[in-house]
Structure 1
Amino acid sequence: MTDTAASAPRVADPRQWGSRTGRRGRMLGLLGCGVVLAVPFALLVVRLTGLDAGTPLAVPVVLFPYTAVLSVLVLGTMLAVPALRSRWAVTVVALLTAAQVALLVPRFVPHQRHVPAAAAELRVATLNADVGGADPRALVRLVQAERIDVLAVQQLPSAGVAALAEAGLGTLLPHHELHPEYDSSIYSRIPLSHGGPLHADTAWPQTTADVTVGGRTVRLVAVHTYYPLGDAKRWTRDMTALTSVARRSGPDTVFLGDFNASLDHAPMRELLASGLTDTHAELGHGWARTWPAGKSLVPPLVQLDHVLHGSGLVGVSVGERTVPGTDHRAVVAELALLPARERAG
């Protein structure tokens, strides 16, 4: 007879179970971080390659600054939670975040430009009136309070022109180049000359005019481009046409209006590379937001309205103002004309 000993049942080591659970939790945590960072990574690729030009990607790329904030938050979480401190994962997220921050930082660093005390100045403003919905009396009060010399208005129909006249805008800005049929108009305290539609391949003509400031002629272009959500290719053609005009323009040029573009759009960067400067970025106001405003519970998220100027001018101040009745905020900027020897190269 053979004696057999009964085998004792195996009991799993609790530490082993904890280790397995910890590994599983860590993997799920890292996977979650990866899923969250998929959008920031995708928009970084779009931003670096310019894939937004002429494509539907022009719509989400306006959120690029927000995805950079998201990346910073994820990186901070990974560093704060020991279970997520995977060296390779932290390195990848750190590189992603660094690339995003590197693209954004320049617009928050003011340009160091000397403005001579005796330099002539030009105060300008732009507003998309939302098909005449902007409160005309509020706009007149803004012009008066900000001592505006030149006002560009987009989406201002004939009824809106009449409402502004009734509100007394003509008393403050008696000179004008009004083209409600072209979708943009210019009002001015200073006499205008050489006004009319811009000869460029845009969805609708842009309105232009000249003003004389400090003995110099400044060319004004009141901008309203097509919108990417409606037709990204048409919007890109508008921006390309404006870029072509800017390349032919002199240093004393101001493009102002609703570009339906942010600084993260490739066509906008092409326009700036043609010799123009965005006043917000020049003065370090890198996260201005002008749309949507006023008509929804959503606060302004992105900057679509800009004041761009040539190398003959320099930004002194810039800001956004709310005008009831429209979904855009007004942009108000003070520009100074530089002597020829102090212009940017």
Structure 2
Amino acid sequence: MSWTAVTPFVLWAAVRVSGFEPGWPWVPVVAYTPYAAGAAALGGVLALALRRVAAGGAAFWAVVVLAAAVLPRTLADGGPRAEGPALRVLAVNLLMGRADTAELMGLVRRWRPDVLTLQEFTPGAMRRLEAAGVREELPYAVSRAREGVGGSAVYARHPLTAGATIQYGGFRQARAWLWHPGGARVEIVSVHPCAPKRPARQTCWQAGLDALPRGGATPRVLAGDFNATLDHLPVRALLTAGYVDAADVMGRGLAATWPQEGSTQRFPGVAIDHVLAGGGTAVRDFRVLSLRHTDHRPVFAELRLP
């Protein structure tokens, strides 16, 4: 009984620390690593209660490995320092364009983002948002609207120049250069790779994340629904390449962003929506918000450009 309770989490910890990411179903499962850390601790308690010292020791090792991966996300670490102009970013998955338009405009007016990235952005959602006045708040846009789940957009308070769209598996990740009045040129990506719900989708998920820009001193912001947590290798590779995760920097890295409502609510909450800042861009604030009629919670970050 003790080894039955302990072995799955020992294997989980071994794979998580190995630097190797197996195929499906590991990719969707590893998102629940914070829960696995707690379950490993319970397995260790059971093993010790049954006086199975070896199983208890194995469980203790798994707890240490998983806790080392998870607990730093609860501690504010400051991140890079920057003294340039502020850049406020709001990222929202619209659930095939169904999110409440009036409430979304309320978030825009309350939080006053300089950049709004939208995922699952449909032509209908674009018409409703623009009729509701989004261009009065954020007059510049790069739109890659599409029916279903594959569209995205970047709206901004400052001028934008369209970049090459990142497209895999029918998912269009809008890309733009923002010209900040403070003098900075910032690359923005509305992130949304396909979801690795089944084995056939893992390739486009991996490709969509691997294609995200990185490298150099250019200020960059990747904001949106990554369909991945900080436990997935492609996101860890982005952090190694110089990005910081705004939630992690502020000690809110375990704040769940999905699911918010609907049939998916039977799943435990995980943090798959992110704002990543690169090129020396600093993080000053991060919030997880709420919005009706979508299964994702919007995320907001206040950044400081170098």
Pick aligned residue for 1:246 from 209, 214, 222? 214
Partner of residue 280 from structure 1, selected from 242, 247, 256: 247
Structure 1 distance, partners of 2:305, 2:195, is 32
Of 157, 167, 174 in structure 1, the residue corresponding to residue 132 of structure 2 is 167
Amino acid at match of 1:61: V
Q: CA deviation at 1:148?
A: 1.2
CA contact (8 A) 1:56 1:232 kept: no
Contact persistence 1:202–1:237 (CA under 8 A): no
In structure 2, the residue matched to 1:319 is: 287
Q: Secondary structure at the match of 2:234?
A: helix
Aligned partner (choices 110, 120, 136) of residue 76 of structure 2:
110
Residue 234 (structure 1) aligned with residue 214 (structure 2): no
- The Cα offsets for residues 269-305 of structure 1, whole Å up to 9 and x where unpaired, read as 1122222111111122120211111224437611111
Correspondence for 2:63: 97
Query: 2:305 matched to which residue of 1?
Result: 337
Aligned partner of 1:291 in structure 2 is 258
Residue of structure 1 aligned with 2:151, choices 166, 183, 188: 183
- TM-score normalised to the size of structure 1? 0.80
| TM superposition shift of 1:153 | 0.3
2:79–2:249 Cα contact (<8 Å) kept: no
Query: What is the CA-CA distance between 1:90 and the residue it aligns to?
Result: 2.5
The alignment's TM-score, normalised by the length of structure 2, stands at: 0.90
Which structure 2 segments of 5+ residues have no match? none
CA shift, 1:43, in A, is: 2.1
**CA deviation vs aligned residue, 1:196-216 (integer Å, no higher than 9, x gap):** 433576753321112233211
For structure 1, which segment, 107-116 or 62-71, has the greater mean C-alpha deviation from structure 2 after superposition? Answer: 107-116
One-letter code aligned to 1:186: V
Q: What SS is found at the alignment partner of 2:98?
A: coil
After superposition, the Cα gap between the structure-2 partners of 1:235 and 1:190, relative to the gap in structure 1 and judged at 3 Å, is same
Cα contact 1:252–1:311 (8 A) shared by 2: yes
Deviation of 1:41 after TM superposition, in Å, equals 2.3
Q: Does 1:150 align with 2:118?
A: no
One of 102, 124, 127 as aligned partner of 2:89: 124
Structure 1 residues 67 and 300, CA gap change in structure 2 (3 angstroms): closer
CA distance in 1, matches of 2:99, 2:220: 27
Q: 1:61 & 1:34 partners in 2: Cα distance?
A: 21
Q: What is aligned with 2:173? A: 206
Using a 3 Å threshold, how does the CA distance of structure 1 residues 299 and 138 change in structure 2: closer, same or farther? farther
1:92 to partner: Cα distance: 2.0
Matched position secondary structure for 1:59: helix
Distance 1:162 1:236 in 2: 31
Percentage identity across paired residues of the two chains = 31
- Pairing 1:269–2:236 present: yes
Q: Distance in 1 between matches of 2:217 and 2:165?
A: 15
Post-superposition Cα deviations, 1:221-274, rounded to whole Å, max 9, x if no partner, equal: 1111011114112211222222xx213x54301011111111111111112222
**What RMSD over aligned residues (CA atoms) do the two structures have, in Å?**
2.2
Aligned pairs, number = 299
Structure 2 residue identity aligned to 1:105: L
Q: How does 1:214-225 map to 2 (within 5 A)?
A: 214-225=182-193
Contact 2:117 2:224 in 1 (8 A): yes
Contiguous gaps of at least 5 residues in structure 1: 1-30, 339-345
Give the match's secondary structure for 1:246.
Answer: coil
AA in 1 matched with 2:277: H
The equivalent position to 1:310 in structure 2, one of 263, 278, 293, is 278
Q: 2:16 is aligned with what amino acid?
A: R
